[in-house]
Structure 1
Amino acid sequence: MSDTDTNHVAGTHRTVAPVTAAVVGCVFLLVGILGFVPGATTGFDGMSFASHESEAMLLGVFQVSVLHNIVHLLFGVAGLVLARHHASARRYLLWGGVVYAVLFVYGLVVPEDSAANFVPVNAADDWLHLGLAVLMIGAALLTRLRPTEVRVSDAA
């Protein structure tokens, strides 16, 4: 069995990139689910499919819509699927980070009350997107430089 084959066998060593991509994917799934939960999301009754007119606020801070939540769910599933191999996990982290960098710039140039703000995003989202971009791209680059391994338990 080659080193790359052991990345998806329970109880074997996995590189940091797949573990990181899986954790990021799980966080996005959690955020996507919470976006539909009244209480975790305020203004839920007026949540629109997409647009700046959505009044829903995840954790009272981040503006969300049905489309925004669906994107989080899909991004989470992609992270879990691509976490199966080192190379695809690194691509997920790198290109996901690039997407979030673009979303950061998008949030800076598109006014919050504009029809072009279809995601929708607010200032808190913009800063979160910048942080995600830096963390994801950094993780992709660091896992390329240091193929450190972590032990995945048999229970995982």
Structure 2
Amino acid sequence: MTSAQTSARSRATIQRAAQVVGAVFLLVGVLGFIPGITTGYDSLALAGHDSEALLLGVFQVSILHNIVHLLFGVAGLLMARTPAQARSYLIGGGAVYLVLWIYGLVIDQESAANFVPVNNADNWLHLILGVGMIVLGVLGVLGVLGSRRTADRTGATTQR
């Protein structure tokens, strides 16, 4: 395999990682609006802790929560266009999810502060998502999922 082929394969890997993460968020956002997949669908609220709808019977959701997943998914697909944007999406998005995890741990889940809303299952999923996305992004920065600098066919080094 030539250097250019290796570079293209690596570049595509970090972008594919962002695409997959974005697609999963889109899927979760859509599933949150499907009765049956979301139990208690009749109690799906616009926002707030009063929404008793549970995605897969586990994760508390609201219309706002589902829309956030949809937007996060679209962002992932759009930012997967370049390796640098894909890395930024994964690291930045992972940081957002770690902040959400901490937020979910410190708020009273029965208070108005729980406007998204989140429950304990959401909190731990946010931790896993945050760490996972950051790990993928850092692997991209380190060149494991796409190198930062590559040599083209002439040997010139370019920044991606």
Distance of 2:53 and 2:145 partners within structure 1: 41
Structure 1 or 2, whichever has the larger Rg, is 2
Task: Name the residue aligned to 1:67.
Answer: 64
For residue 128 of structure 2, what is the amino acid of its counterpart?
G
Secondary structure in 2 matching 1:108: helix
- 8 Å CA contact 1:15, 1:147 repeated in 2: no
RMSD: 1.5
Alignment of 1:109-124 (within 5 A): 109-124=106-121
Q: Return the offset for 1:147.
A: 4.5
| Aligned residue-pair number | 140
Distance of 2:145 and 2:113 partners within structure 1: 43
Task: Name the residue aligned to 1:96.
Answer: 93
Alignment of 1:12-51 (within 5 A): 13=9, 14-51=11-48
Q: Return the offset for 1:148.
A: 4.5
Secondary structure in 2 matching 1:53: coil
Q: Return the offset for 1:16.
A: 1.9
- 8 Å CA contact 1:21, 1:89 repeated in 2: yes
Task: Name the residue aligned to 2:132.
Answer: 135
Distance of 1:35 and 1:86 partners within structure 2: 30
Task: Name the residue aligned to 1:154.
Answer: none
- 8 Å CA contact 2:29, 2:70 repeated in 1: yes
Task: Name the residue aligned to 2:158.
Answer: none
Q: Deviations over 1:69-89 (max 9, x none)?
A: 000000000000000100000
Alignment of 1:134-153 (within 5 A): 134-148=131-145
Q: Return the offset for 1:143.
A: 1.1
Q: Return the offset for 1:15.
A: 3.1
Task: Name the residue aligned to 2:80.
Answer: 83
Q: Return the offset for 1:115.
A: 0.6
Give me the TM-score of the superposition, normalised by structure 2: 0.84
For residue 15 of structure 1, what is the amino acid of its counterpart?
A
List runs of 5+ in structure 1 lacking aligned partners.
150-156
- 8 Å CA contact 1:28, 1:72 repeated in 2: yes
| Structure having greater relative contact order (Cα 8 Å, sep ≥ 6) | 1
- 8 Å CA contact 2:14, 2:145 repeated in 1: no
Distance of 1:19 and 1:31 partners within structure 2: 18
Distance of 2:140 and 2:127 partners within structure 1: 20
List runs of 5+ in structure 2 lacking aligned partners.
147-160
Q: Return the offset for 1:144.
A: 1.2
